[in-house]
Amino acid sequence: MHSVGLVDSFAEFKDLKNIDRATMIRVLEDVFRQMIKKRFGTDENFDIIINDQSGDLEIYRTRTVVDDDDCYSTALEIELADAHKVDADLNVGDDCIEEMNFLEVFGRRAVLTARQTLMSRIMELEKDELYKKYKDRAGELLSNGEVYQIWKNELMVLDEDGNELILPKREMIPADFYKKGDTVKAVIYKVEMVNGSPKIILSRTAPVFLERLFELEVPEILDGLITIKNIVREPGERAKVAVESYDDRIDPVGACVGMKGSRIHGIVRELRNENIDVINYTTNLPLYVSRALSPAKISDIKVDQTEKRIAVYLKPDQVSLAIGKGGHNIKLGGKLVGFEIDVYRETEEEQGIDVDLDEFADEIDSWIIDELKNIGLDSAKSVLAVSDEDLVRRTELEEETVVEVKKILQAEFED
């Protein structure tokens, strides 16, 4: 049978992005069978053949030959006289197979209606396939999206298959600027159905975006040797990343920063010069807080687990460092550790509380003091704030030595 308007449009949608050829043929056949059922009451004795290259359509109807005047069902039976018009050699009881002229049987109006139904079905199917493709990909990195259209509050970005994704202004870093045709890197943030159509939202401000960038730049993270425990961000301003290594031979901070900052520089450029602090994760809360507020040096910490608040005491020259530009350092530090952090300036009397480790040279061997200084602990309170287990792990000191040193330091404050 010759192709008709319904399948002339095959070329228009056979190359749709998310629909495979087998699914396309199945939908086409389903539309034709619905038309046949409506016209003849059944489609069980019809065979539909669609050429998936050209879109040509052939429909064959099979009916049983019966004696003249014995035909009870014109849909399933054909009288002998009519069967001879198809094939003169047919006899009663034979199957009469005839090719149907689609236009003559259904008419052009029915064909146009079916074509509209077909296109609607195909578009719905494409939407469903696009949703299925992306619904489980939230958190994945889109590394080569192309900016296709720019609106006031969002960008339309095309993926490698030409699917339309949305990057809202609120999910962009303040310093982001794109022109049509630019390549954009973002994370698939959210996938939802809006009025029956899938909407794939991208983000460059979500913490998971920074996490994916670290996975790209730091092979140890992708291999599982280093784990990112937490990420907090003020997009375009500052970020803090807590990392932990399960292999004592690997320095997680050094691995993430890279030789002369080679690894982290690429991430900083992608984030429009966002400052990134990479710190060692620890379960020792005071030490974790101290690291989270770096570069400020904390004199004393008081933790209120009930109220989830932490009071930190600093020398006057360290307060501005703890708070940071625009308050970002103190704000992100609190988010990182999961506590509200209150900063207190030490009075002159309070500042005299802590004691430099060198003051204990008569009671503690110099090599032990050097071991403690090598890991950044240069005062009595800074040592007391670290757990025995961490001190043993981070230094060459034995547990008995650590216990004895802490007794000496604690005695100073008790006196």
In this prediction, residue 163 carries a pLDDT of 87
**What pTM, to 2 d.p., does this model score?**
0.65
CB neighbours of 308 closer than 8 A, spacing ≥ 6? Answer: 338, 339, 340
Indicate the SS3 state at residue 241: strand
Whether the bond into 295 is cis, omega within 30 of 0: yes
- Please report which helix (H) or strand (E) contains residue 314, including its range: strand 309-314
In this prediction, residue 332 carries a pLDDT of 95
Residue showing tokens 């209120």: 304
In this prediction, residue 327 carries a pLDDT of 87
In this prediction, residue 381 carries a pLDDT of 81
Distances (CA, A) of 171 to 153, 178, 201, 204, 283: 10, 14, 9, 6, 32
Each of the 415 residues of the chain gets a pLDDT tens digit; together they read 444 445 555 555 555 555 666 777 787 788 888 888 888 888 888 888 877 666 567 888 888 888 877 776 677 888 888 888 888 888 888 888 888 877 777 777 877 777 787 778 777 877 888 888 888 888 999 988 999 999 999 999 999 888 899 999 999 999 999 999 999 999 999 998 888 788 999 999 999 999 999 999 999 998 999 999 999 999 999 999 999 998 888 999 999 999 988 999 999 999 999 999 999 999 999 999 999 998 888 888 888 888 899 999 888 888 888 888 888 999 999 999 999 998 888 754 455 567 788 888 888 888 888 888 887 777 888 888 888 888 888 888 888 999 998 888 888 776 5
**Residue 200 bridge partners (DSSP):** 191
Burial label, 270 (beta-carbon count in 10 A; 0-12, 13-18, 19+)? middle
Residue 129 and residue 146 in contact, taking contact as beta carbons nearer than 8 Å: no
